[in-house]
Amino acid sequence: MVIFERRPTLYFGALICAAVVLRVFVAIYSLGSNDVGTWYRFASSIDQEGLWQLYGVDSEFNHPPLGALLVCLLFKIHTATGLAFPLLLRVPGILGDLITLCIVGFSKRLPVEANRTAFLLLYGFAPVPILLSGYHGNLDPLVVALSFLAVWVISLSERVFLGGVLLGFAASIKLPPLVLIPVVIAATARGKWLLFLLGLTLPLISVGVGIVWGGGPFLTNVLHYQPPLDMWGITAFLTAALNPWSSVIPGFPHVIATAYSYPAKALILTVPALLLVALRSTDIIFGYLLAFGAFLIFAPGFGPQYLIYPLPALLLLNPRWGVRYLTAGSCALFALYSWFFVGYPFASVHNSTAPVHVTFLYYLTWCAITGGVGFTISDRLVGRKRV
């Protein structure tokens, strides 16, 4: 207790180091999910044939150029040094978690009332962030770190241009951070959000180059990518409820779920910003939770790596529901990876069809993020009435 009171920075640093070491240990003694093999295929193809050609020959290649080039760099390090590609691929995700932990652990002040120790313990040692950065094999934890740092910078220092640049880099690796653009605009004054948009466009030039050089295949693969529909949230409920009709009209549940994907994207982009305006809130950390909460609540498709996106803000703003979300999500990930486990070193090869028990745990996780966002909004409404 004396260490915590007199030297909190040392205390937090020790927690962060332990969390990173744990992730490195998991990465060393595992091969990860089948995303590792998919990225290896992408990187080797880019190395041999070039980036823009890959969009035309591989319909599964759905990533913006910057993320692809980052993994290609890791592939070149692998071929030059002999270091294992599965290990190298987990490095950006572990670095992302390190950034997220340092943001909260070492900031001189927090933009919201929160318990730093609880955040570091939950984000540092809960299975969801550990598995998604140290095991799964994708770039999402790094994307989350850059997105979270962007809103943190805007919230604490009002450096909207820098926040825009950071968010632009995040979206140039993977597209989900684009859902934050409307909430930042809604939470900042006009002159400031114009600066934010200016900063945002600079890194996104790579996406514009992709549209020019990649053409139709780039637009189809990246901008029209559709994750699996039948194992998460509203589309899972729709396909399950309409499944009896498939014997009468073949493919009917899938058609309805696909049709839902278009209004879902509109809901994800508009509802969080409208809520911020309605609540007269300028809290961008709250906006982060609303944006990525809506991203999961209304999601027209799902991948397990998406679970990481709302987590930093949920743990800060509503740790009780954050624990529930982590509990359900951890059980879902353990069930998924163990069901598709293929051997040692630990590796799993999952497909787009999840078994019933995993889908049920996904339902619980969806309910947890829905409850977390809903009760956080309710707390804000109650707070306004008291004032």
pLDDT value at residue 165:
95
Average pLDDT, integer, range 340-357: 83
Q: Is 250 helix (H, G, I), strand (E, B) or coil?
A: coil
Q: Of 6-15, 46-55, 78-87, 367-376, where does mean pLDDT reach its minimum? A: 6-15
Average pLDDT, integer, range 319-342: 95
Average pLDDT, integer, range 285-311: 95
DSSP string, 127-180: HHHHHHHHTS--SHHHHHHHHHHHHHHHHHH--HHHHHHHHHHHHHH-SGGGGH
Average pLDDT, integer, range 153-171: 92
Tokens describing residue 185: 């605009």
Torsion over CA: 323, 16, 288, 304 (sign): negative
> Which stretches of 280-355 are DSSP H helices?
284-297, 311-317, 319-339
Query: Which residues neighbour 219 within 8 Å (Cβ) at sequence distance 6 or greater?
Result: 211
Q: Domain range spanning residue 177?
A: 2-386
User: Which range, 124-128, 232-236, 251-255, has the best average confidence (pLDDT)?
Assistant: 124-128
> What confidence tier does 330 reach under pLDDT thresholds 50, 70, 90?
very high
Query: Distance (Å, rounded) from C-alpha 30 to C-alpha 243?
Result: 37
Q: What is the pLDDT of residues 61-102, one digit of tens each?
A: 888 889 999 999 999 999 999 999 999 999 999 999 999 999
Q: Are 188 and 277 in contact (CB under 8 A)?
A: no
Average pLDDT, integer, range 234-250: 72
Q: What is the pLDDT of residues 266-293, one digit of tens each?
A: 999 999 999 999 999 989 999 999 999 9
> What confidence tier does 4 reach under pLDDT thresholds 50, 70, 90?
very low
User: Which range, 145-154, 200-209, 339-348, has the best average confidence (pLDDT)?
Assistant: 145-154
User: Does the structure show a pLDDT above 70 at 224?
Assistant: no
> What confidence tier does 387 reach under pLDDT thresholds 50, 70, 90?
very low
User: Does the structure show a pLDDT above 60 at 103?
Assistant: yes
Query: Distance (Å, rounded) from C-alpha 4 to C-alpha 15?
Result: 11
Query: Distance (Å, rounded) from C-alpha 352 to C-alpha 230?
Result: 9
Write down the pTM of the prediction.
Answer: 0.92
Q: How many domains does the chain have?
A: 1
pLDDT value at residue 30:
95
Torsion over CA: 63, 69, 75, 77 (sign): negative
Q: For the chain, give the number of residues.
A: 387
pLDDT value at residue 231:
77
Average pLDDT, integer, range 322-326: 97
pLDDT value at residue 207:
72
> What confidence tier does 249 reach under pLDDT thresholds 50, 70, 90?
low
> What confidence tier does 167 reach under pLDDT thresholds 50, 70, 90?
very high
Rg of the chain on CA atoms, in Å: 21
DSSP state at residue 111: S
Q: Are 315 and 119 in contact (CB under 8 A)?
A: yes
Q: Of 30-44, 159-173, 237-251, 287-301, where does mean pLDDT reach its minimum? A: 237-251
Average pLDDT, integer, range 1-16: 66
Q: What is the per-residue burial (b if ≥16 Cβ within 10 Å, else e) of 180-207?
A: bbbbbbbbbeeebbebbbebbeebbebb
